[in-house]
Amino acid sequence: MRTLTGLQPSGKLHLGNYFASIKQMVEAQNGGEEMFMFIANYHAMTSVGDGVKLKNATYEAASAFLALGIDSAKSTFWVQSDVKEVLELYWILSGYTPMGLLERAHAYKDKVAKGFESKHDLFSYPVLMAADILLYSSNVVPVGKDQIQHVEIARDIALKFNNAHGEILTLPEARVDEFVATVPGTDGAKMSKSYGNTIDIFADAKTLKKQIGKIVTDSTALEEPKEWKNCNIFTIAKLFLNNDEQKALAARYEKGGEGYGHFKAYLNDVIWEYFKEAREKFEYYNANHDILDEILDAGADKARKEAVKLMDKVRNATGIYR
C-alpha cells in the first residue's frame, strides 16, 4: 500500500498541519507503510507571490518535516517542482475534468468568500492535487475532513480517464483520523494560516505565548467551575495528552479556582516540551541547506522513477509519443 501526502510551504507549520497530517505520516512510515511525502511548492504559488519568500519557505518546510520525524531513508521525500511530470499530468487530466466538478469545490468557494482573488490557479487547484495523487499510483491519502472532497475529485477524474483508456490510474482512498480530523485554531474555527488563527510548531517562546494568549474563551470568573468540553484551550491540549492527563485537566476545570490564564500557561508548557527535540533538529537543518539539498535531490530521483513509469502509460494512451 502506498500512502501520499503533501503540505504547502506557504508559511510556518502549525499544530493543524502536524496533527491532521504529519503525525499520521510519521506513524505510518515507522509502521512499515510505503510513504510518499512532498513539499507542495506549486500549490503554494496560489497564495505566495514572492519568489524569495517561497524559496526560503520551502527550505523551512523541508527542515520541519525532517525535524518532526520524516525519515528520508524510509520514505520518499521531495519537493513537488523537482518532478516536472506532475505538470504534464495536470494538463492531460484537465481534459478529463468537467467544469461542474471544479465549480462545486468547497475550498475554492471558501477562499474566494474570504477575499482571495478569483484566479485560474486557485480554481484548478484540485486538478493539480489530483495529478499529485495519481502520478505516484497512491492508494491512500491522509486528509482532514475538509480535504476529503479533493480526494473524491481525484477519483472522479481518474475514473473518467480510465473509462477512456483502460485501468491506468489507481483510484485513491481518503484516510481521516476522526479524533484529530479538524484541529481548532485560537478562535475555535479550523486552524489555518489563511485565517490567522494558528499556533506555530517552531515559534520562539515569546511568539508561542502570544499565540496561545489569543485563544478565545468565555468570561467565567476565576473562582467558578469551568466548562471544558467546548473550551478551545482544552480541545487543543488534549491532542498532546493521554487519557489520564485529559481527566486530570478536566478535573481542574470542574474544580474552579483557576482562570483561563492558568490553563493557557499549562498549554504553553505542554507544547514547548513536546516539540523540544524537534526544534533543535529544525534549527540544524535550516542552517545547513547543503545537507537539505542532498536529501531532497535523492528523494526527487526516487519519486521521478515512479512518475516516469506512470507517464509512459499515460502518454502512450493519449498519443503523446514524443
Cα dihedral angle (17, 23, 25, 29), rounded to 10 degrees? 160
**Residues 111-142: pLDDT tens digits?**
777 777 788 888 889 999 999 999 999 999 98
Confidence of residue 79 (pLDDT cuts 50, 70, 90): very high
**Residues 228-281: pLDDT tens digits?**
999 999 999 999 999 999 999 999 999 999 999 999 999 999 999 999 999 999
Q: How many residues does the chain have?
A: 322
**Residues 40-77: pLDDT tens digits?**
999 999 888 889 999 999 999 999 999 999 999 999 99
Name the β-bridge partners of 184: 190
**Which residue ranges form the domains of the chain, and what is each CATH number?**
2-181+288-318 (3.40.50.620), 203-283 (1.10.240.10)
Confidence of residue 162 (pLDDT cuts 50, 70, 90): very high
The residues assigned a catalytic role are 111, 190, 193
Predicted confidence at residue 188, as pLDDT, reads 93
Q: 13-17, 115-119, 191-195, 247-251: lowest mean pLDDT where?
A: 115-119
Predicted confidence at residue 20, as pLDDT, reads 79
